[in-house]
Amino acid sequence: MKRHRWMRTGLALLLMAVAWFTLCASGGHAQEKPEITWYGYVKLDAAWDEGLVNAGNYARWVVSRDVFDEHGHFNMTARQTRIGMTARTKVGSATVTGRLESDFYGGGAENKNALQVRHAYVDVVWPSGWSILAGQASDVVSPLVPGTLNYTVAWWVGNTGYRRPQFRVTRRIDLGEGKELSFQGAATRTIGDEFTTVEPGDTGADSELPTFQGLAGLTVPLAGRPMTFGGFVHAGNENLHKELGGEPIELASSGWGAYVTLPLGTAVTLSGEAWAGSNMDDYLGGIGHGVRVTSTQATAVDAQGGWAELGWRGGRTQLRAGFSVDDNDADDLGSGYRDRNSAIWGTWVRDAGGGLSYGLEVSRWETEYVTLAAGTSWRVHMAVIYTF
């Protein structure tokens, strides 16, 4: 057991050493002062829900009718307002970009919102097609998102992938005539759960290793526009040690999937993803269920899902229609667990010019439970956005 632990620790230290020496190898002094650019938007969201939708300001799932009597709810917030900064310079032949971005979903009262960090990383790109990213950024896996007004972009209802600290290597190969092959690999923070029945500790940090993510993608021209498709995987572990009072329990978190962006003519695009995995809650899959825990046992929850969206753009108007579903394996669930979650939506967005836009989204949500009645709700969501 000790030898196994030392091997894990050694591998983690080796990864950090590789990251350090690779960045040092890009050495040299900046050839110019950093070019700093500020960006972001101010957004007001207002939504009416027929039933009780978790979490109100945005939709993740609908609470069961057996838990809460159905009646309407209205929420209004400016939390999605976003502010970011990039600093760009040259180091030798490489372009170095630092990015810091936040929104206001970090907690606090509804009229005293707290900042949260979304992105905080440095990205070093060489003309050869190699690049290295270090910091907190979006996952390598599940690279696409639907264009919903809803803040969560179908997370917990079919779309996976989030943001986390990572060290990422990318290789892009220009094949000519608008074709490109890309490969990405990342060692990322394993984010787990905390069980304090015996030992406190994060099950991700206790695994002693990062989670590994990988992606391979191909871009080719189609009708004068880029079509992109590919596949992605991730593999990691959570270790409960003796948190449940018995022997140490190690649970895998793993998944795989595919994505596509398909242009249909000059104004219409079909995009989507499909995936399957185990212990997917930290990737916003499994409807928030990753591990089923009893007093002495822990079981990883298997899940599968995906989403598809059809988008049209004409002048200053955008129309989108989509469907998404997240389906857990019922054999891994206990009473009251969320079993299946689905949503269908239609979105209209109008660009008023000068950075101002506004939109309307109507969606239908249904969440099924083990031994409980389903929760269903219509959601009407309006937004006003000023982008700078």
| Each residue's pLDDT tens digit, 114-144 | 999 999 999 999 999 999 999 999 999 999 9
- Which residues are 75's β-sheet partners? 47
Q: Give 143-166 pLDDT, tens digit per residue.
A: 999 999 999 999 999 999 999 999
pLDDT > 70: percent of the chain: 89
Decide if pLDDT at 104 tops 90. yes
* pLDDT (mean) for 361-378: 98
Model confidence band, residue 241 (pLDDT cutoffs 50, 70, 90): confident
* CA separation, residue 325 to residues 182, 240, 270, 285, 290 (Å): 28, 30, 17, 10, 16
Decide if pLDDT at 15 tops 60. no
- Which contiguous run of DSSP H or E holds residue 351? strand 338-353
Model confidence band, residue 293 (pLDDT cutoffs 50, 70, 90): confident
Q: Which pLDDT value is given to residue 223? A: 86
In this structure, what token pair is assigned to residue 319?
A: 């129309």
* pLDDT (mean) for 99-105: 98
Among 137-146, 153-162, 184-193, 292-301, the minimum mean pLDDT is found in 292-301
Q: Give 3-13 pLDDT, tens digit per residue.
A: 555 655 565 56
List the one residue out of 119, 149, 181 whose CA is nearest residue 382: 149
Q: Which pLDDT value is given to residue 202? A: 80
Query: Domain range spanning residue 298?
Result: 2-387
Cβ atoms of residues 133 and 97 within 8 Å:
no
In this structure, what token pair is assigned to residue 268?
A: 């219409």
Model confidence band, residue 17 (pLDDT cutoffs 50, 70, 90): low
* pLDDT (mean) for 353-369: 98
Q: Which pLDDT value is given to residue 217? A: 98
Cβ atoms of residues 239 and 249 within 8 Å:
yes
* pLDDT (mean) for 241-268: 89
What is the domain-level CATH number for residue 109? 2.40.160.10
In this structure, what token pair is assigned to residue 4?
A: 């196994």
Q: Which pLDDT value is given to residue 10? A: 60
Average pLDDT taken over every residue of the chain:
92
Phi, psi of 195 (to 5 degrees): -120, 125
Number of domains forming the structure of the chain: 1
Decide if pLDDT at 16 tops 60. no
Q: Which pLDDT value is given to residue 183? A: 98
Distance, in Å, from the CA atom of 185 to the CA atom of 24, rounded to the nearest integer, reads: 19
Distance, in Å, from the CA atom of 169 to the CA atom of 64, rounded to the nearest integer, reads: 43
- The residue ranking higher by pLDDT, 199 or 360, is 360
Q: Give 48-68 pLDDT, tens digit per residue.
A: 999 999 999 999 999 999 998
- The residue ranking higher by pLDDT, 269 or 245, is 269
In this structure, what is the dihedral angle of CA atoms 65, 69, 74, 77, given to the nearest 10 degrees? -60
Q: Which pLDDT value is given to residue 201? A: 64
Pair type for strands 298-300 and 59-62: unpaired
In this structure, what token pair is assigned to residue 364?
A: 């239908």
Query: pTM of the full predicted structure?
Result: 0.92
CA–chain centroid gap for 188, Å, is 13
Model confidence band, residue 28 (pLDDT cutoffs 50, 70, 90): low
Q: What is the largest CA-CA distance in the chain?
A: 65
Roughly how many angstroms between the first and final C-alpha of the chain, as a whole number? Answer: 55
Q: Which pLDDT value is given to residue 9? A: 57
* pLDDT (mean) for 331-355: 98
Whether omega for the bond prior to residue 308 falls within 30 degrees of 0, making it cis, is no
